[in-house]
Amino acid sequence: MKLSVVVATHNRAALLPRVVEAILNQTLPPERYELIVVDDGSTDGTEALGTELARGGRLRYVRQPNRGVAAARNRGIREAHGEVVAFTDDDCLVPPEWLERLADGYTRHPEVVGVGGRIVAPPEVLRRSAVARLEHHVARHVYGAGDAEALGGFECPAGGTNNMSYRRAALLAVGGFDEGFPPLVWGEDADLKLRLTRAGGRLLYVPVAVVHLRDYGLGAFLRQSWQRGRGEAHFRLKHDGCRGWGAHLKRLVLAPLKLAAAPFRRDPAMRAAAALGGGLLAVGALTYRAPRATPTH
Domain assignment of residue 96, given as a range: 3-119+142-208
In this prediction, residue 296 has a pLDDT band, given cuts at 50, 70 and 90, of: very low
Distances (CA, A) of 177 to 35, 172, 201: 19, 9, 16
Q: Which CATH number goes with the domain that contains 45?
A: 3.90.550.10
State the pLDDT at residue 264. 61
Please identify, among 208, 239, 266, the residue that sits at the C-terminal boundary of a domain. 208
> What's the full length of the chain, in residues?
297
204 and 225 share one domain:
no
Asked whether residue 128 is domain-assigned, the answer is no
Higher pLDDT, 274 or 16: 16
Q: Mark which of 208, 228, 247 sits at the end of a domain.
A: 208
Residues 199 and 229 in one domain: no
Per-residue pLDDT band for 295 (boundaries 50, 70, 90) equals very low
Q: Tell me: do 115 and 172 sit in the same domain.
A: yes
- In degrees and rounded to multiples of 5, residue 194 shows phi and psi of -65, -45
Please indicate, yes or no, whether residues 166 and 74 belong to a single structural domain of this protein: yes
For residues 106 and 190, state if they share a domain.
yes
Single-letter code of the amino acid located at 195:
R
Give yes or no: residues 17 and 63 share one domain. Answer: yes
- How many other CB atoms sit within 10 Å of the CB of residue 208? 20
Among candidates 162, 282, 272, which has minimal Cα distance to 218?
Answer: 272
Residues 192 and 262 in one domain: no
In whole angstroms, what is the distance from residue 67 CA to residue 90 CA? Answer: 16
- Whether 63 maps to a domain, the answer reads yes
Residue 229 is which amino acid? G
**What's the domain count of the chain?**
2
Ranges of H-type helices in 148-244: 168-173, 188-198, 218-240
- Is 125 part of any domain? no
Residue 167 β-bridge partners: 84
DSSP 167-191: EHHHHHHTTSS-TTPPTT---HHHH
> Over the stretch 116-139, which tens digit does the pLDDT of each residue have?
999 999 999 999 999 999 889 888
- Give the model confidence (pLDDT) of 239-248 as tens digits: 776 555 556 5
What share of the chain has pLDDT > 90, as a percent? 65
Residue 107 lies in a domain: yes
Q: Which residue has the higher pLDDT, 9 or 237?
A: 9
